[in-house]
Structure 1
Amino acid sequence: MLHSVAVPLIDDFAMFEFGVVCEVFGLDRSYAGLAPFDFRVCGIEPGVPLTNPTGAAVITPFGLEAMEDADLIAVPAARIRDDYPEELLEALRRADARGAILLSVCSGAFILGAAGLLDGRDCTTHWRYADALAKRYPNARVNPDVLFVDDGNLITSAGTSAGIDASLHVVRRELGSAFANTIARNMVVPPQRDGGQRQFIERPISDCTDDTFSELIDDLALHLDEPHTVSGLASRVHMSTRSFSRRFVAETGVSPMQWLTRQRILHARLLLETTELSIDEVAAQCGFASATLFRHHFDQEVGVAPTRYRRSFASAPQLA
């Protein structure tokens, strides 16, 4: 269970990426039915102002000792440098050794790399820095194209808003979809963008210039239980199947069927958490032809069987 979150800062940290983890993990949302995380902003010397490129400064109330028992260590972006404070690197190594979750936003991956924690692991960072990360840490498996990578206790994300996606993914993975959706709704952000989505695409969905295409996507989200084919969807917007598929990838970063499957699984997670519907009924309401097919896709996407997921999250208590 995810209860405590520590955020280590160093000089020249990035204000937005720091703000991302503060927004997701640091705010008291008891008004929305969520008990707060035990949130700790840490510095090597607590009480000493740390600067960032905006000219503002932050005074950390905790020292690095606050990382020692935290469930999650969230490492924001900071200026890439040749040497990082050894005290921080040692604290990160200890956290990894005891199984804490490590989350980096943007260039925060370089700090994890300096601690030796990317070796042999799948990871990512902002596309501008991906080559540099791979060159500096050749044993890391750097994927420059995705929003975030979940490699067990190591979650790395690309720049800026991808940090929101990765942070919400951690909440969803550890506490369930309802918890993550509540945070997302109060942040007024999409509840989930899949980590495998490309970092940059020709046109984000929210900026569709073709109203018909945008309406189709919105309509699909409301009718996930119905059968859909690529050819059928293409005909609805008066396009050839090939052109439609190409355009869909340009708009969303994934194929039509990938998008549908992921949206159906996202809806299934919520149904498993919040209803007593049988697995067959969940499968039907989410548009899967059979419970067997549903179980296959759910296990592939989430990593556990639907029944096990329900046992973990259906009546999961809120943070105390």
Structure 2
Amino acid sequence: MTPFAYRTASDRADALSAHSGARFLGGGTNLVDLLRQNVESAAELVDVSRLPGSISETVNGGLLVGASVKNSALAAHPLVRSRYPMLSRALLAGASAQIRNMATVGGNIMQRTRCVYFYDAEGARCNKRQPGSGCDAIGGFNRYHAILGASEDCVATHPSDMCVALTALDAVVHIAGPDGERTVALTEFHQLPGATPHIETLLKPGELITAVELPPAGASATHSEYRKVRDRSSYAFALISVAGGLEVVDGKVADVRIALGGVAAKPWRATRAEAALKGLPATRENFLAAAAEELTAARPLDGNAFKVGLTQRTIAAVLTSLAGERA
């Protein structure tokens, strides 16, 4: 590990005064690992985990969540559990209780891929870690890698459970930086790899995530579920995951939300499947067909072709459960 300086930010202005070589530190559950393994480096760590953070209702009935709020506190909040159950369930599906007690909302959004080649700084080629070096996951062990939105330069996936639910809920990220404050829809915040897989988000140098805002909860947000498929029942990253919300009126789909995890370099909003379902009878057959429509863009690798069928069946199972039919 390369030596670095450390200080605790007293307020937001103090944090934003950090020099260009500094990194913001939330709970440290991802960044510290990356520093230890020499995947990342920093001249200075600026601890922002103690900046004020709260969960409060907005004037329009939404929810504003401070970036320093712990994952465990967000999952347990009564308004999250009642209005946005998919978010609470996604948070509880992630990591262990000890890590959820440390991890912050802002840090969760900024966590990096768990691709084994990305972490192997001594022996593997990785364009995300070292642009232009190649991608050993293509043609290597790629069971956990992307089937949607990948490129010839990177097939890594985004690891967050929380972000999948936030994507389905149309969350907005609040950002502060040297040029002032701005907001970005979470669906746009994370970037697909293309030819620049090392550019993972729209966050500019020196900027800091300050909060996440959830819009008012409609029926499809309140009637929602998160389902995670993984190799073991706890403390494992998703092979695939589905955040689904459904509103049915007179037996037909009035509104639907679908976001996928474990399939792309960013939480994947299944807009094609959503569009295909609007106005159709809420049946398992229609859910399967809409999921298949979404997955026509899938480009599986040698080791993860199973994800296509698994994703289709899991989308259908989640929506069927929400519709009240037998899955």
Same fold (TM over 0.5): no
Select the structure that is richer in strand. Answer: 2
Q: Which has the higher helix share?
A: 1
Length-normalised TM-score, structure 2? 0.30
Q: TM-score, normalised by structure 1?
A: 0.31
Q: Flag the structure with more relative contact order, 1 or 2, with Cα contacts below 8 A and sequence separation at least 6.
A: 2
